Chains A and B, each alone.
Chain A
């Protein structure tokens, strides 16, 4: 595997489910990011981890819970989501916080 990978690519979940999104980067980077991309809205930065420490949390609801066990892996744990949370969730990594970012293909999430 090369670059940034995300699994699953598509996810449909009910409002009472719990699921997790996974991101893995094979670039040796130190920073990882979660973004939300909704139709007709700008990219929304959700969380940033630098050297496995959370450095930014942009007022994201607590039903989204990130986890960064090491510099190569990033998870987004989801529970009791709302239909408006349906979106493309993108993971990215960069050499360090603030450098150009490399994106994964995204997980298309649909909340029913």
Chain B
């Protein structure tokens, strides 16, 4: 069965600092992986996705994530945090071999200090 673990329910960074949000997955078959962002009082917006092409995936708003099979990780990074990045971030996994539901992590709230 698939599962997703997001380490750290809250991450706080200074504006301009590196953002690193951690996601580890478990999957019995090659996974598809996603990062979503949720701003206050809004739905979830797809940031980026990994579907077995390049292991380094670039998304919107300057975010990127690297799929590391040996570490079963898909961490989200951004070189320089902006105040507007403050939001909740969700990692999600699904199977690549057949239609299957998305499994979401519990989310990480990113706080950006001025």
Contacts and interface: CB of A to CB of B under 8 A. Distances in A.
Q: Name the prevailing secondary structure of the A interface residues.
A: strand
Given A43-B90, A108-B41, 12 more contacts: A42-B105, A42-B107, A45-B101, A90-B44, A92-B43, A96-B99, A97-B101, A98-B94, A98-B100, A100-B32, A103-B44, A105-B42
Interface in A73-112: 90, 92, 96-106, 108
Q: Which 10 A-B pairs have the closest CB atoms?
A: A103-B43, A98-B99, A103-B44, A97-B99, A42-B106, A98-B100, A43-B104, A105-B43, A106-B43, A104-B43
A98 B98 contact: yes
A53 interface: no
B46 interface: yes
Interface of A: 4, 6, 42-43, 45, 48, 50, 56, 90, 92, 96-106, 108
Given A42-B107, A43-B90, A101 B43 contact: no
Contacts of A100: 32, 34, 46, 49, 102
Contacts of B52: none
A79 B25 CA distance: 37
Contacts of A42: 104-107
